[in-house]
Structure 1
Amino acid sequence: MLDRLLDMSPTLGGDTLLLLPVLIMLELVLSADNAIALAAIAQGLKTEELQKQALNVGLIAAFVLRVALILTAGWVLKYWQFEVAGAAYLLWLVYQHFTSKSDDEDSSAPKFDTLWQAVPTIALTDLAFSLDSVTTAIALSKDVLIVLLGGTIGIIALRFMAGLFIRWLEIYVHLEDAGFVTVAFVGLRLLVRVINPEWVPPEWIMVTLIFSLFAWGFSKKVEESAVVDSKVSLMTEKAETEPLLAASEEKQPETT
C-alpha cells in the first residue's frame, strides 16, 4: 500500500534516515488488517494467557522471517511464485474463516489445542502480509538497515494492535468479518499484481474500502446484538406459544 505516497516522496539524497517516518507510517497502515487476522488466530486458544504467549512467540518468529525476507528481497522479487503463494495462503485463511461459520459446531470454540499449533500460523500469516509491505518498502529505499528498522517498529506496533483487537473482537460483532474481508483484499492485491500490475486499483480506492469496512466492523457492539437477538427470540417464542394456549383453552371442558 501507499505506493502513491511513495511515488510523491521527494529525492532525499544521502540522508536516508528521513525515509524512516514514511516507512513507519507504511507499516502502521499495513498492520491494521494484519493485526485483526493475528488476533483472530490467537483467539483460537483457550485462555487469555495462552493467547498472549502465542502473539509474543509468534511475532518473534515472524520478525525472524521478516528479516530473512528483507535480506533476500532482491532474490524473492524475481520470482512471482512467492507472491502467488502469499496470496493463496491469505485467501485460504479468509475461506476458512467464513466457511467455519456454516458448521454446526460453535465457531467461537478454540481452534488450537496447544500454543505450538498457533505459533506457526501467526508467523506464516505475518510473512504473507510482509510480501506486500516489505516489497513496497524495498521499492522506496535500498538501504537495508532503514528497511529493517521500519520492519522492527512495524512488528512492535503489530503486537500492541493485535492485543487491542483481541479485546475488541469480543466487543464488536462485525469486526472479525470486516478484518477478514480486508485480508481478502490484500490477497487479491498480491494476485492481481502478479497477473498484471496495471490492474491493481488506485491506492485511494483501497484505503477507502478498508476504512469503510472498519467503520462497519466497529458499528455494532455485542450487547446491542444480544438485546436484539433476545427480543427476536421472545417474539418468536410468543408467536409459537399463543396458538398452543388458545387451543388448550378451547379443549378445556365447561364446568357447571
Structure 2
Amino acid sequence: MELPAWFEIGSLVLLGIILLVDLLLVLKRPHEPSMKEAGLWVAFYVALALVFAGAMFAFAGPEHGGQFIAGWVTEYSLSIDNLFVFIIIMARFSVPRKYQQEVLMVGIIIALVLRGIFIGLGAVVIEQFSWVFYIFGAFLLWTAWKQATDHGEDEEDTSENPLISRLRRVVPMSEKFDGGKLRTIVGGKKVFTPMLIVFVTIGMTDLLFAVDSIPAIFGLTQSAFIVFTANIFALMGLRQLYFLLGGLMTRLVYLKHALSVILAFIGVKLVLHAMHVNELPFINGGQHIEWAPEIPTYVSLAVIVGTIVVAVVASLLTPAASKSKLDARLEEDSRKSMHKVSGH
C-alpha cells in the first residue's frame, strides 16, 4: 500500500511549521529550560511521533508503519548518542547555559539539511545500483566494531582540529562570547565570537553522524519519505532532551554498546538484502542468492527496541551509574550553595 500524496506533502508542511515555531521560540526567549518544561516538550514530540506512526499504520499498512517505528527508534538512539558529543563541545568551549539552546537549534537545522542531502543521494543511488547495499552493510559493520572498541581515549579536543585551528588564525575573533551573537565589536572593529567555532564544530559532528545514520535507516526501509520523517522526528525535541537528561547522560554507560549491536544487526541485514537482490557478476554469476533470508520488519523492531531496553536497564543498575548519579547530585548541591552565597 502506498501513501497518498496529500499525506506526504501535508506531513512535511506540518513538521516544517512545528520546527519553525520551535526555532522562533528559541530566538525570541533564549533561556535554560526547567526540567518540567523540557519534559513536557520531549513528551509532546514523542507523542507526536507515535500519532504519526498510527497514521502510517492506517494509511500505508503495518509494514510501512513498522518501518517508521524501527527507523525512528534507531535514529532517536543515534541522536541521543550525538548528545554526548554536544555535551563535550559545550563544555570545552564554555558555552553559557543560557545560549546553549540556540547552539543546539542551529545544530539540529544543520543536521536536517545534511541528512536531507544524504537521503536524496542515497535514494537515487539505491534505485540505480542495488550493489550499494553491500557497501552500506560493510560500512555499518565497521562502524559498529569501531564504536564497540572505542573506550573514549580518542575523544580528542575539538579545538585542536586542523580546520578549527586554521579558522582561528585566519578569522578575526574575540576571546569571549557576547551573548548568543555570532559577531561583536572589539576595539571599534567587527570580529567573530567563539560561537562561530562552536557552530563549525557542531556542523562537522552532524556531518559525521549523518554518514553513520543514513545507511542505518536505509537498512530498515527504502522509502525516502519514511527515512526523512523518521530523521525529523528523531531530531525534534533533541534540544529539550539535552537539558532533561543532564547528568543521566553519563549514567547510560552501555548505550554505545547497544548502538554498536544495532548497527551491526542492520549491517548484517543490509548484506543479506544485497545478496537477495544480487546483480554483481562476480557473485553467484550475477544471480540473486535465494537462500539469503530477508529479515522481517517486526524482527528488526524487536531487536532494536529490546537492545535499547536492556542497555538502559543495565546502565541504570550498574555501580558506575550510581557513582555518576552521586557526583551529579553533589555538583548540583555545590552549584545551589554557590548561588545562595552569591545572592547574599
Moved more, 25-34 or 198-207: 198-207
1:36 matches 2:77: yes
Structure 1 pair 27–226 and aligned structure 2 pair: CA distance change class (3 A): closer
Q: Which amino acid aligns with 1:62?
A: R
Q: Which amino acid aligns with 2:138?
A: A
- Max Rg structure: 1
Q: Report the Cα offset of residue 37 of structure 1.
A: 2.3
Q: Report the Cα offset of residue 59 of structure 1.
A: 2.4
- For structure 2, the 5+ residue unaligned runs are 8-58, 92-99, 162-200, 277-289, 325-344
Q: How many residues align?
A: 203
Structure 1 equivalent of residue 213 of structure 2: 126
1:62 matches 2:115: yes
1:221 matches 2:221: no
Q: Report the Cα offset of residue 40 of structure 1.
A: 2.0
Structure 2 equivalent of residue 175 of structure 1: 255
Flag the structure with more relative contact order, 1 or 2, with Cα contacts below 8 A and sequence separation at least 6.
1
- Looking at structure 2, the residues matched to 180 and 162 of structure 1 have their Cα atoms a distance apart, in angstroms, of 21
Q: Report the Cα offset of residue 157 of structure 1.
A: 0.5
The sequence identity of aligned pairs, in percent, is 11
RMSD: 3.8
Q: Report the Cα offset of residue 171 of structure 1.
A: 3.5
Normalised to the residue count of structure 2, the TM-score between the two structures is 0.48
Q: Which amino acid aligns with 1:59?
A: L
- Looking at structure 2, the residues matched to 25 and 131 of structure 1 have their Cα atoms a distance apart, in angstroms, of 14
Normalised to the residue count of structure 1, the TM-score between the two structures is 0.62
Structure 2 equivalent of residue 89 of structure 1: 139
- 1:57-107 deviations in Å (ceiling 9; x for gaps): 12221023223444x2xx633423321221122222212212222x7x3x6
| Contact preservation (8 Å) 1:38, 1:125 | no
Q: Report the Cα offset of residue 47 of structure 1.
A: 1.2
| Contact preservation (8 Å) 1:178, 1:213 | yes
- Looking at structure 2, the residues matched to 15 and 120 of structure 1 have their Cα atoms a distance apart, in angstroms, of 30
- 1:124-166 deviations in Å (ceiling 9; x for gaps): 223212422441x3xxxxxxxxx53x44432220103655776
1:154 matches 2:209: no
1:47 matches 2:90: yes
Q: Report the Cα offset of residue 108 of structure 1.
A: 6.1
Aligned residue for 2:131, secondary structure, equals helix
